[in-house]
Amino acid sequence: MNRFIIAVVAGVMTAGVAQAGVTEDDLNNDQANTSQVVTNGMGRHLQRYSPLDTLNKDNVQNLFPVWAFSLGGEKQRGQETQPLIYDGVMYITGSYSRVYAIDLKTGEEIWQYDARLPEGILPCCDVVNRGGAIYGDNFYFGTLDARIVALDLKTGDVKWRKKIADYKAGYSYTAAPLIVDGLVITGNSGGEFGIVGEVQARNAETGELVWTRPVIEGHMGTLNGEESTMTGELNATWPGDMWKTGGGATWLGGSYDHDTDTLVFGTGNPAPWNSHLRNAGTPTEGNAGDNLYAASRIGIDPASGEIKWHFQTTPREGWDYDGVNEVVAYTDRDGNKRFATADRNGFFYVLNREDGKFVSATPFVKDITWASGIDDTGRPIFIEDNRPGNPADAADGKKGSVVFSSPGFLGGKNWMPMAFSQNTGNFYVPSNEWGMDIWNEPITYKKGAAYLGSGFTIKPNYEDHIGSLKAIDPDTGELKWEFKNEAPLWGGVMTTAGGLVFTGTPEGKFIAFDDETGEQLWSFQTGSGIVGQPVTWEMDGEQYVSIISGWGGAVPLWGGEVAKKVNYLNQGGTVWTFKLPKQLAAAN
């Protein structure tokens, strides 16, 4: 008897006793329980793989829409949420820090929560929200004014609301929280404002802080209200006082590896972008100028907040190659426990799950100009001529030499989550082929003001496409197939045991691919660009798939020449839900 059936039987036997709601066991086994989706990533390992195979390559053409839910109003900016499915209800977040509870069978609204945002919020890259978390009878999500809110699942009433950081200093929050052992784990956003990246853990019932872990060296962590340990070693890799405004925002949230009991968070760009201002050494002098732990992946003890290990993908980073991209726990074909991450810098990394040690790295975009490769230790082999120049070397001291860098600062892959298939053993990576002209400028820190010290113009590398969905063998780095898209890809990917890969395009198409060949098997025009994250589940013996449609995000705001290519795309805000009816499940 499986775990879900046991839970149902127990509920019948204890009629009249309130259900405990979502438990740690539910979170840990989310991938296996196909009747619900209670974690961001369809499992805290972020594989985004469903064992459902009712919907498959032979019958996916019979998938059709059953309801659509409009987010309504005029708040139709980028919609990047992943739906959560629990107890007959879908929970989604929307732009401008909104939450909706929707009846799964009818698509009708049950309740809505709209955060009262103050004037003067400073979101870097659109007013998006990437989803929430469920634990017990609460729904948790973050807001653009850098708060974490707990809502009652049934009513949407506020249980508690806590401040993560000061929005007036440039902090915000857009990621889905992570729940581990009764703790709500959050990161922070705001790397373009000279903030300090941090991971925080709170008691899920009360919202009270349990521990904090800054990710820039020199800052002190806390545990149970007391100072704990310093992150790194003061001034080991940062000059002077620059660590105090060192960036490293943990803006995409984290994953959890149950096997090693480790939180894994990525950290963003060091601040400012102008690397010459914070370079205390050269690449030949050990790690003196690396600016730890920015542009890194960090393993954290969930009970104490202590750092277990770190791996820095881009030392002394100077191109805005954030290291925040998701880290996915998986087991390779030889039975090795691995982490995989596709970095903004254009390389696909495999790490050992036990200690975060480097295993391999291969390029997953075609044109990488800033490094010639990755050495045996995992450190990039820099191409010094393709580092943006030092303004101090310019005759007027105002603008360093301009270089063309690829990928562009929006990355070979940005926030949009990749997926792993247990069916093929491959990863499916949404990527973009673009570059940029970039130069450095003088800059000084001012609270609440942009802290870049760089200028840039992003450009497509190819005439026929920017977006590229790639099937990658993590054991070899081999590209198995590629789907090219004219506009940049900015939405999430999902795989299923039915041999399907789902993702969407800014042009509005929601597409199902053959996981082995890349053949397009089905598509549906949603009416607006897709930058959200698909999910699938089963209800009453039928398989359902949902995606949110609503164009926006960073591309139209920061995309330069690329933005001009997609300025015709319509905004929106609609959740589309599809199903495969029982009578058509066997049809092909």
Query: pLDDT value at position 286?
Result: 58
| Tens-level pLDDT at each residue, the chain (588 residues) | 333 333 333 333 333 333 479 999 999 999 999 999 999 999 999 999 999 999 999 999 999 999 999 998 767 789 999 999 999 999 999 999 999 999 999 999 999 999 999 998 988 889 999 999 999 999 999 999 999 999 999 999 999 999 999 999 999 999 999 999 999 999 999 999 999 999 999 999 999 999 999 999 999 999 999 999 999 999 999 999 999 999 999 999 999 999 999 999 999 999 999 999 998 544 445 577 899 999 999 999 999 999 999 999 999 999 999 999 999 999 999 999 999 999 999 999 999 999 999 999 999 999 999 999 999 999 999 999 999 999 999 988 889 999 999 999 999 999 999 999 999 999 999 999 999 999 999 999 999 999 999 999 999 999 999 999 999 999 999 999 999 999 999 999 999 999 999 999 999 999 999 999 999 999 999 999 999 999 999 999 999 999 999 999 989 888 778 887 888 888 899 999 999 988 888 755
Instruction: List active site positions.
Output: 320
Which residues share a beta bridge with 92?
A: 100
Is 543 within 8 Å of 536 (Cβ atoms)? yes
CATH superfamily of 25-584: Quinoprotein alcohol dehydrogenase-like superfamily (2.140.10.10)
Which helix or strand (DSSP H or E) is residue 10 part of? helix 3-13
State residue 35's pLDDT score: 97
Whether the CB-CB separation of 63 and 580 falls below 8 Å is answered with: yes
pTM for this prediction: 0.95
Are 496 and 49 contacting, i.e. CB atoms less than 8 angstroms apart? Answer: yes
Pairing of strands 209-214, 479-485: unpaired
Cα–Cα dist 258/342, whole Å: 21
Separation in Å, CA 536 to CA 34, 88, 198: 8, 14, 32
CA-based end-to-end distance of the chain: 32
User: Could you tell me where the DSSP H helices lie in 403-449?
Assistant: none
Contacts of 236 (CB under 8 A, 6+ apart): 217, 287, 288, 292
Is residue 561 within a helix (H) or strand (E), and if so which, with residue range? helix 561-565
Which amino acid makes up residue 370?
A: W
> What residues form DSSP beta bridges with 537?
544
- Phi, psi dihedrals of residue 296, rounded to the nearest 5°: -135, 170
- Structure tokens that stand for 149 in this block: 């809110």
